[in-house]
Structure 1
Amino acid sequence: MSHGSLPTAAVADDDDHHEISLSAVDLNIIASVQDRKDEALLVLKADLMDKLNKEVKSLDDDSWMFDGPRSRIHLISRPGSIRHRCSEILTRPDMGPRK
């Protein structure tokens, strides 16, 4: 019985060795593919950062347009707004100024 299993083991060893050598070639191919992928990602990242920096600079250059005072008309034009509440306080006898 051991006589029949010996050649099978020898064939299995040959196949394993062959698979190992193919795996080394595959690893070299995978490594080169990974290197190319890493290089492409670095180029894309650099390009993206360049475009983002240009956009930030553009926004910084245009920020003066938005620095001015803002309108507060929306605060006084609706019921429940600041002006409406102030006038309500002044007109209610229990909420008026103390004497």
Structure 2
Amino acid sequence: GAKPRHLATAEPAYELIESLAALRPLLDRLDERDRHIIELRFGEELTQAEIGRRIGLSQMHVSRLLTRILGELREGLTDDSAPTDGPAD
């Protein structure tokens, strides 16, 4: 059977992407490629390797981009005085 992929992820800020709608204003500040990567990863739930094949980058490159993009989104959410519940890592 298909195992739930979301449990296998170790990406930072994954918990912030539960609602892409909440992130829409932040996503709008990203450049087109970064936004596309986020939408593939969390909208279509592709793996990093699948995203890499789709846009012509290595899985490692996609991983680095996601780490940077998610870091920016996390900072953006924090800047907009989002409530922080739970310990920071």
**When the two structures are superposed, what TM-score results if normalisation uses the length of structure 1?**
0.25
Q: Which has the higher contact order (CA 8 A, sep 6+)?
A: 2
More helix by share: 1
Bigger Cα Rg: 1
**When the two structures are superposed, what TM-score results if normalisation uses the length of structure 2?**
0.28
